[in-house]
Amino acid sequence: MDPIKISLIVAVAENGVIGRNGQLPWRLSSDLKTFRRLTMGKPMVMGRRTFESIGKPLDGRDNIVVTRDPNFDVSGVSVCGSVADALTLARVLALTRGTDEIMIVGGAAVYDLTLPLADRIYFTRVHATPDGDRAFASPDLEIWKEVSREALPKGDRDDHEATLIVFERAMPES
Ligand SMILES: NC(=O)c1ccc[n+]([C@@H]2O[C@H](COP(=O)([O-])OP(=O)(O)OC[C@H]3O[C@@H](n4cnc5c(N)ncnc54)[C@H](OP(=O)(O)O)[C@@H]3O)[C@@H](O)[C@H]2O)c1
Give the pLDDT of residue 171. 79
Residue nearest to atom 38 of ligand 1 (CA): 67
Q: What is the DSSP letter of 28?
A: B
In Å, what is the CA distance from 54 to each residue of 24, 64, 106, 141?
Answer: 10, 13, 11, 31
What is the reported pTM? 0.97
Q: Where are the domains of the chain?
A: 5-169
CB 79 less than 6 A from any atom of ligand 1:
no
Give the pLDDT of residue 3. 86
| Coil/strand/helix, residue 20 | strand
Give the pLDDT of residue 41. 98
CB 140 less than 6 A from any atom of ligand 1:
no
Residue nearest to atom 24 of ligand 1 (CA): 47
Give the pLDDT of residue 43. 98
Which atom of ligand 1 has the smallest separation from the CA of 19? 45
- What's the CA gap between 134 and 38, in Å, rounded? 23
Considering the four listed CATH numbers 3.40.50.1970, 3.30.413.10, 3.40.50.2300, 3.40.430.10, the one that applies to the domain covering 5-169 is 3.40.430.10
CA end-to-end distance (rounded Å), the chain: 17
Give the pLDDT of residue 1. 65
- Write out the chain's pLDDT in tens, 174 residues: 678 999 999 999 999 999 999 999 999 999 999 999 999 999 999 999 999 999 999 999 999 999 999 999 999 999 999 999 999 999 999 999 999 999 999 999 999 999 999 999 999 999 999 999 999 999 999 999 999 999 999 999 999 999 999 999 997 765
CA of 47 to the centre of ligand 1 (A): 4
Backbone φ and ψ for 22, nearest 5 degrees, come out as: 75, 10
Give the pLDDT of residue 170. 95
Residue nearest to atom 25 of ligand 1 (CA): 67
Residue nearest to atom 10 of ligand 1 (CA): 107
